[in-house]
Amino acid sequence: MKETNSIRLEFQSRSINEGFARAAAAVFAAQLDPTLDELNDIKTAVSEAVTNCIVHAYPDSIGKILLRARSFPNNSIEIIVRDWGRGIPDVDRAREPMFTTGGDERSGMGFTIMESFMDSVKIRSAPERGTTVTMRRSISIRAARK
């Protein structure tokens, strides 16, 4: 399906940029007229994906993170968060609730949260080459817009 609009943002893996990415995704998603709950779900999923990049992809350095978002005529959104960091040796294990490589202070719920707030989440990763998380979400068409 051909996209109706798209954005591409690249930023450093600094904690302060997590809020920027979250806000940028929310502003982009707003064009689809989501409910507040839908918007909050998208913001939370993006926050988790970007935080994973900051904490796990670049634990000892600053790297780059790419955020891409596309909207489609069926009132859906696709958000891609990519890094070029450490990568994930075992994606299936990383998707398990409570699994983390980030130490005791991390909950290990990032992918679980993304999966609970988005319609689909795909993860591609290769050790030392980075990770790409692709999330999709349909936005309900409200009665006033039908």
Catalytic site includes residue 106: yes
Given 95, 106, 124, 136, the catalytic residue: 106
Given 18, 48, 78, 86, the catalytic residue: 48
- Which segments of the chain does DSSP mark as H helices, in order? 16-29, 36-52, 91-94, 110-117
Q: DSSP string spanning 93-126?
A: HHTSTT--SS-TT--S-HHHHHHHHSSEEEEEEE
Catalytic site includes residue 40: no
Catalytic site includes residue 48: yes
Q: Which SS3 state, helix, strand or coil, does residue 43 take?
A: helix
Residue 69 contacts residue 34 (beta carbons within 8 Å): no
Q: Which SS3 state, helix, strand or coil, does residue 64 take?
A: strand
> How does DSSP classify residue 128?
T
Given 18, 38, 52, 78, the catalytic residue: 52
* Residues carrying an active site annotation: 48, 52, 106
